[in-house]
A and B are shown apart, each in its own frame.
Chain A
Amino acid sequence: MAAVTASAGRLWRLRAARAEGPWRGLCGAGLLRGFLQPASAGGEAAPRRQVAHFTFQPDPESQEHGQTQKMNLFQAITSALDNSLAKDPTAVIFGEDVAFGGVFRCTVGLRDKYGKDRVFNTPLCEQGIVGFGIGIAVTGATAIAEIQFADYIFPAFDQIVNEAAKYRYRSGDLFNCGSLTIRSPWGCVGHGALYHSQSPEAFFAHCPGIKVVIPRSPFQAKGLLLSCIEDKNPCIFFEPKILYRAAVEQVPVEPYNIPLSQAEVIQEGSDVTLVAWGTQVHVIREVASMAQEKLGVSCEIIDLRTILPWDVDTVCKSVIKTGRLLISHEAPLTGGFASEISSTVQEECFLNLEAPISRVCGYDTPFPHIFEPFYIPDKWKCYDALRKMINY
């Protein structure tokens, strides 16, 4: 118990040192207004909170895909959906509240542009939404379903795991629902508490037959979403909701694809490999620069991008080079996807490992309301784990 209080005390001091105002850190300054404001929020005199557990780092502008425009994550998603509906006359978008633009504004303007028979609302029934989507996809039309929050995907879990994932397999390739894509806001947001902050990718990683994809930025999101829609397998696309407004980048206006099942090495390094996905990529980027500055350690950063099927080769190649691996995600530790990566890497690269593989993840508790800043694997926890790994 003494150890716990000592470490908790250190956390307190670290927080006090870098936060202004009350320590109740809110992630994502841009999301102060909350999700559900469709039109302009109206003047709010309250000061904006600037404390977040990560800083979004945009990638350099891509030169290969034509003209780019400054977009944030939800605008990039809208752009991707716009491209899809334009290219594919059978594509339809449906979900709760998508018609007016969606609670995160991901579908703004699409109904006006493409008509109400292509962009429509469903009643409040996730199981129904996904089941309905599977049906559309089986006939060959492209179905893009939205589940309003990843936390609500569980009524649809049976449909996804038992129906969508196994369709091609059980019919011997006679039928498939490959043109189904399910999009859902994902991950912690600072004030989401138990039911608006979950990261359920690990549940779906256990299910062969579907693909699970998580982008880290607007540019990645648009390319990956377009790949998911065009992919001939049912895909689940989780969008980090904290990045909807916080992440701004130059994104090409024309459609482009980013291949699935390929991880990206964002930064090359030689001493330790850091693997993450979604928002956590920005956290470990900061950890890498801290490590370089304070410890002289060169980190290789990998964004996994596709959770299932994941790019084993890239990660293993990296670990063979560096000998150390740290995996980080917000979901709880036990059974989280880091455990799968860890097992596979120790199988493939056992003799190359210099230190045990480190997993910095959320605690094995339901996602807390008031304790969120202590729950999430922030850069200090990752840095600490990295330091201990280096000194092993």
Chain B
Amino acid sequence: MMQTVRRMELKADQLYKQKIIRGFCHLCDGQEACCVGMEAGINPTDHLITAYRAHGFTFTRGLSVREILAELTGRRGGCAKGKGGSMHMYAKNFYGGNGIVGAQVPLGAGIALACKYNGKDEVCLTLYGDGAANQGQIFEAYNMAALWKLPCIFICENNRYGMGTSVERAAASTDYYKRGDFIPGMRVDGMDVLCVREATKFAAAHCRAGKGPILMELQTYRYHGHSMSDPGVSYRTREEIQEVRSKSDPIMLLKDRMVNSNLASVEELKEIDVEVRKEIEDAAQFATADPEPPLEELGYHIYSNEPPFEVRGANQWIKFKSIS
């Protein structure tokens, strides 16, 4: 799975450079252990919400690479019908894909409330980054979650840089797992997928037992810059990126572990590699060839269940129908 995410991100990078994908594209290669490990630690009926570095989570939450790449290229086959783009991808029990930094955390607390209310033993994983950890609304969400003992796992994906600002320059306390104050927190090695999985299982068990929210800080790293327009080397050295790539690459770590404990042979892993590459190629073909959504959809889905009304706009004589 991690290999698929990695290949998918690299393909997206390639497509962006070919200008087939436009707009914004925030890649998460380097952080694959987080999404894959977390998914392994929870059930498909649990809920997850994150910010804009969401392609990996979209995949682990059940969407196919085809749908993701088609959404990136803005086509009909995309998961948000081409209207969302990179930052706005959604799937069942996956609430996106949110552009405004920090805004998804109170949403996550709300989803956790629904979980508690429905009584189905579900939890909500609410992710945010090291930059977002300094937003006020996060602390409001902590307070509400702790007060009402909501089954919410707050997860800070600390990749050491908030866009271009390193954590030391942005935060008075870089112990993000302690920021919850009255919420118990733990720090997890985000490059080791098994570590992430076990930590997530522990956290989920904590919440399901009704003990209230819990905080997890995943120490991870991203190889690409903040987004496609950021070369990623003006605020950190290439040596640092290389060092992380060679010493703590999540795919490499897992591969070594599996091969050394004779769980898989190098050839088997190579086979998986080849299969993944093929899948991604197919998906990219589809994404490039799929037609764009029709123009009428400009006005769709603004409101829900209203009788179709005409969307006013630039020209008094061209209106779009809003259908929901």
Which residues of A pack against B, CB within 8 Å?
1, 4-5, 7-8, 11, 24, 26, 33-39, 42, 46, 96-97, 100, 121, 123-125, 127-128, 151-152, 154-155, 191-196, 332-334, 358, 360-366, 368-371, 374-378, 381, 384-385, 388
A-B CB contact pairs (8 Å), 21 listed: A4-B319, A24-B22, A33-B229, A34-B229, A36-B225, A36-B226, A39-B234, A121-B169, A124-B101, A125-B134, A125-B135, A125-B136, A152-B101, A193-B24, A368-B298, A369-B74, A369-B85, A370-B74, A370-B293, A371-B295, A388-B316
Interface residues of B in 1-53 (CB under 8 A from A): 17-19, 22-24
**Using a Cβ–Cβ cut-off of 8 Å, how many residues does chain B contribute to the interface with A?**
58
Structural contact, B83 and A370, CB atoms closer than 8 A: yes
Assembled-state Cα–Cα distance A24/B99 (Å):
23
3 closest pairs, A vs B, by CB? Answer: A34-B229, A363-B313, A123-B134
Q: Are B293 and A363 in contact (CB under 8 A)?
A: no
With contacts A121-B169, A194-B99 taken as known, whether A388 is within 8 angstroms of B298 at the C-beta atoms is no
Whether the Cβ atoms of A369 and B295 lie closer than 8 Å is no
Give, as a whole number of angstroms, the nearest-CB distance from A116 to chain B: 11
**Structural contact, B164 and A193, CB atoms closer than 8 A:** no
Chain A residues whose CB sits within 8 angstroms of the CB of B164 once the complex forms: 36, 38, 97, 100
Q: Chain B nearest CB: distance from A99 CB in Å?
A: 9
B297 to chain A, nearest CB (A): 8
Minimal Cβ-Cβ distance residue in A for B312: A333
Question: What residue in chain B is nearest A131 (Cβ atoms)?
Answer: B136
The interface centre, meaning the residue of A121, A123, A151, A376 with most chain B CB atoms within 10 A of its CB, is: A123
Q: How far is the CA of A46 from the CA of B23 in the complex (A)?
A: 16
Please measure, in the bound complex, the distance between the C-alpha atom of A375 and the C-alpha atom of B299, giving whole angstroms.
Answer: 10
The reply to whether A369 and B136 contact each other, CB–CB distance below 8 Å, is no
Contact assessment for A370 and B292 in the assembled complex, using a CB-CB cutoff below 8 Å: yes
Which residue on B lies nearest to A26, using beta carbons?
B22
Closest chain A CB from B115 CB (angstroms): 26
Q: How far is the CA of A151 from the CA of B87 in the complex (A)?
A: 15
B137 at the interface (CB under 8 A from A): yes
Measured CB to CB, the nearest residue on chain B to A8 is B295
Task: Closest A residue to B310 by CB, please name it.
Answer: A4
Known: A34-B228, A124-B102, A194-B99. A358 touches B314 (CB 8 A): no
* B229 pairs with A369, CB closer than 8 A: no
- What's the least CB distance linking B201 to chain A, in Å? 31
A357 to chain B, nearest CB (A): 11
